[in-house]
Protein backbone atom coordinates (compact mmCIF):
# COMPACT_ATOMS: atom_id res chain seq x y z
CA UNK A 1 0.00 0.00 0.00
CA UNK A 2 1.29 3.43 -0.91
CA UNK A 3 0.91 6.36 1.38
CA UNK A 4 1.19 9.82 -0.08
CA UNK A 5 1.20 10.98 -3.67
CA UNK A 6 1.96 8.53 -6.42
CA UNK A 7 2.55 9.06 -10.09
CA UNK A 8 2.38 12.44 -11.76
CA UNK A 9 0.07 14.16 -9.27
CA UNK A 10 0.74 17.15 -7.10
CA UNK A 11 -1.21 19.08 -4.54
CA UNK A 12 -2.48 22.55 -5.43
CA UNK A 13 -4.78 24.45 -3.12
CA UNK A 14 -5.74 21.27 -1.30
CA UNK A 15 -6.63 19.41 -4.52
CA UNK A 16 -4.72 16.75 -6.39
CA UNK A 17 -4.04 17.74 -9.99
CA UNK A 18 -2.08 15.97 -12.71
CA UNK A 19 1.44 17.30 -13.07
CA UNK A 20 1.80 17.76 -16.84
CA UNK A 21 5.35 19.04 -16.54
CA UNK A 22 6.73 15.84 -15.08
CA UNK A 23 9.00 13.67 -17.16
CA UNK A 24 6.98 10.46 -16.71
CA UNK A 25 5.76 8.96 -19.97
CA UNK A 26 2.54 6.99 -20.32
CA UNK A 27 3.11 3.27 -20.81
CA UNK A 28 2.53 2.21 -24.39
CA UNK A 29 -0.46 -0.02 -24.86
CA UNK A 30 1.53 -2.75 -26.54
CA UNK A 31 3.86 -2.95 -23.54
CA UNK A 32 0.89 -3.23 -21.20
CA UNK A 33 -0.64 -5.92 -23.40
CA UNK A 34 2.64 -7.86 -23.41
CA UNK A 35 2.79 -7.62 -19.63
CA UNK A 36 -0.79 -8.87 -19.25
CA UNK A 37 -0.22 -11.74 -21.66
CA UNK A 38 2.98 -12.67 -19.81
CA UNK A 39 1.03 -12.66 -16.53
CA UNK A 40 -1.69 -14.86 -18.03
CA UNK A 41 0.83 -17.32 -19.49
CA UNK A 42 -0.10 -20.38 -21.57
CA UNK A 43 -2.30 -23.41 -21.00
CA UNK A 44 -1.72 -26.06 -23.67
CA UNK A 45 -4.68 -28.06 -22.32
CA UNK A 46 -7.24 -25.28 -22.94
CA UNK A 47 -8.26 -26.98 -26.18
CA UNK A 48 -7.47 -30.55 -27.11
CA UNK A 49 -5.09 -30.75 -30.07
CA UNK A 50 -5.75 -34.49 -30.32
CA UNK A 51 -9.47 -33.81 -30.65
CA UNK A 52 -8.81 -31.11 -33.27
CA UNK A 53 -6.79 -33.68 -35.23
CA UNK A 54 -9.41 -36.37 -34.73
CA UNK A 55 -12.12 -34.10 -36.13
CA UNK A 56 -9.78 -33.05 -38.97
CA UNK A 57 -10.14 -29.33 -38.30
CA UNK A 58 -6.68 -28.23 -39.39
CA UNK A 59 -7.90 -26.94 -42.75
CA UNK A 60 -10.53 -24.80 -40.94
CA UNK A 61 -7.99 -23.31 -38.53
CA UNK A 62 -4.96 -23.13 -40.83
CA UNK A 63 -3.50 -19.62 -40.82
CA UNK A 64 -5.64 -18.43 -37.89
CA UNK A 65 -4.20 -15.22 -36.48
CA UNK A 66 -5.89 -13.86 -33.34
CA UNK A 67 -3.95 -10.62 -33.77
CA UNK A 68 -5.74 -9.88 -37.05
CA UNK A 69 -9.26 -11.27 -36.88
CA UNK A 70 -12.74 -9.84 -37.38
CA UNK A 71 -15.53 -10.20 -34.86
CA UNK A 72 -17.52 -12.12 -37.46
CA UNK A 73 -14.68 -14.63 -37.99
CA UNK A 74 -14.18 -15.04 -34.25
CA UNK A 75 -17.90 -15.59 -33.76
CA UNK A 76 -18.06 -18.24 -36.49
CA UNK A 77 -14.98 -19.99 -35.13
CA UNK A 78 -16.28 -20.02 -31.56
CA UNK A 79 -19.68 -21.37 -32.67
CA UNK A 80 -17.99 -24.14 -34.67
CA UNK A 81 -15.73 -25.10 -31.76
CA UNK A 82 -18.66 -25.12 -29.33
CA UNK A 83 -20.85 -27.21 -31.64
CA UNK A 84 -18.07 -29.82 -31.84
CA UNK A 85 -17.65 -29.90 -28.06
CA UNK A 86 -14.14 -28.42 -28.01
CA UNK A 87 -14.91 -25.36 -25.87
CA UNK A 88 -17.60 -24.62 -23.31
CA UNK A 89 -20.64 -22.48 -24.00
CA UNK A 90 -19.33 -19.75 -21.69
CA UNK A 91 -15.99 -19.60 -23.49
CA UNK A 92 -17.82 -19.52 -26.81
CA UNK A 93 -19.96 -16.58 -25.67
CA UNK A 94 -16.85 -14.78 -24.39
CA UNK A 95 -15.19 -15.13 -27.79
CA UNK A 96 -18.41 -14.26 -29.61
CA UNK A 97 -18.81 -10.97 -27.72
CA UNK A 98 -15.29 -9.74 -28.44
CA UNK A 99 -14.87 -6.72 -30.63
CA UNK A 100 -13.64 -3.17 -30.87
CA UNK A 101 -16.57 -0.98 -31.77
CA UNK A 102 -20.06 -1.30 -30.35
CA UNK A 103 -23.07 0.97 -30.55
CA UNK A 104 -24.95 2.08 -27.45
CA UNK A 105 -27.06 -1.10 -27.52
CA UNK A 106 -24.02 -3.40 -27.50
CA UNK A 107 -24.33 -4.37 -31.17
CA UNK A 108 -21.10 -4.37 -33.15
CA UNK A 109 -20.85 -1.48 -35.59
CA UNK A 110 -18.56 -3.16 -38.09
CA UNK A 111 -18.33 -6.95 -37.58
CA UNK A 112 -15.95 -7.30 -40.54
CA UNK A 113 -13.34 -4.88 -39.14
CA UNK A 114 -10.10 -6.59 -38.11
CA UNK A 115 -8.81 -6.23 -34.56
CA UNK A 116 -6.30 -7.85 -32.23
CA UNK A 117 -8.31 -10.31 -30.12
CA UNK A 118 -5.39 -11.08 -27.79
CA UNK A 119 -4.95 -7.36 -27.12
CA UNK A 120 -8.70 -6.99 -26.56
CA UNK A 121 -8.83 -9.75 -23.92
CA UNK A 122 -5.60 -8.58 -22.25
CA UNK A 123 -6.97 -5.04 -21.91
CA UNK A 124 -10.27 -6.40 -20.62
CA UNK A 125 -8.34 -8.36 -17.97
CA UNK A 126 -6.44 -5.21 -17.03
CA UNK A 127 -9.71 -3.29 -16.70
CA UNK A 128 -11.25 -6.08 -14.64
CA UNK A 129 -8.23 -6.15 -12.33
CA UNK A 130 -8.45 -2.38 -11.84
CA UNK A 131 -12.19 -2.55 -11.15
CA UNK A 132 -11.65 -5.47 -8.80
CA UNK A 133 -9.22 -3.36 -6.76
CA UNK A 134 -11.94 -0.75 -6.47
CA UNK A 135 -14.39 -3.28 -5.01
CA UNK A 136 -16.13 -4.81 -8.04
CA UNK A 137 -16.40 -8.43 -6.86
CA UNK A 138 -18.35 -9.50 -9.97
CA UNK A 139 -15.09 -9.18 -11.84
CA UNK A 140 -13.68 -12.22 -10.00
CA UNK A 141 -16.07 -14.45 -11.93
CA UNK A 142 -14.99 -13.02 -15.29
CA UNK A 143 -11.23 -13.35 -14.88
CA UNK A 144 -11.04 -17.15 -15.47
CA UNK A 145 -13.18 -16.90 -18.61
CA UNK A 146 -11.08 -14.14 -20.15
CA UNK A 147 -7.94 -16.13 -19.37
CA UNK A 148 -9.45 -19.23 -20.95
CA UNK A 149 -10.35 -17.21 -24.06
CA UNK A 150 -6.71 -16.07 -24.31
CA UNK A 151 -5.49 -19.66 -23.88
CA UNK A 152 -7.83 -20.92 -26.61
CA UNK A 153 -6.75 -18.16 -29.01
CA UNK A 154 -3.05 -18.84 -28.34
CA UNK A 155 -3.49 -22.58 -28.86
CA UNK A 156 -5.50 -22.10 -32.06
CA UNK A 157 -2.79 -19.82 -33.41
CA UNK A 158 -0.10 -22.44 -32.71
CA UNK A 159 -2.29 -25.21 -34.13
CA UNK A 160 -3.06 -23.18 -37.25
CA UNK A 161 0.62 -22.50 -37.89
CA UNK A 162 1.60 -26.16 -37.69
CA UNK A 163 1.35 -28.62 -40.54
CA UNK A 164 -1.49 -31.07 -40.86
CA UNK A 165 -0.82 -34.18 -38.84
CA UNK A 166 -2.02 -37.70 -39.50
CA UNK A 167 -3.88 -39.55 -36.82
CA UNK A 168 -1.87 -42.31 -35.13
CA UNK A 169 -2.77 -45.78 -36.31
CA UNK A 170 -1.81 -49.27 -35.33
CA UNK A 171 -0.63 -50.47 -38.76
CA UNK A 172 2.59 -52.40 -38.54
CA UNK A 173 2.25 -52.90 -34.79
CA UNK A 174 1.70 -56.35 -33.46
CA UNK A 175 1.87 -57.49 -29.91
CA UNK A 176 0.76 -60.49 -27.93
CA UNK A 177 -0.91 -59.99 -24.63
Predicted TM-score (pTM) above 0.75? no
Cα separation of 90 and 51, whole Å? 19
First to last CA, the chain: 65
Whether pLDDT at 153 is above 90: yes
Cα separation of 132 and 120, whole Å? 18
| Residues 91/151, Cβ–Cβ less than 8 Å | no
Cα separation of 151 and 40, whole Å? 8
Confidence of residue 139 (pLDDT cuts 50, 70, 90): confident
> Tell me, what DSSP letter sits at residue 108?
B
Query: What are the extents of the domains in the chain?
Result: 28-161
Q: How far is CA 174 from CA 92, 156, 166, 169, in A?
A: 42, 35, 20, 12
Amino acid sequence: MTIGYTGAWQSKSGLLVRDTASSSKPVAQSVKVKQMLALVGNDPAAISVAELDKQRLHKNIKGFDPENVSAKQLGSLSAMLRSRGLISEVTSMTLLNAGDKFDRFGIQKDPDAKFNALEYFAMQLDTINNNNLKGNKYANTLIPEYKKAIYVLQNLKIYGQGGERKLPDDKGVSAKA
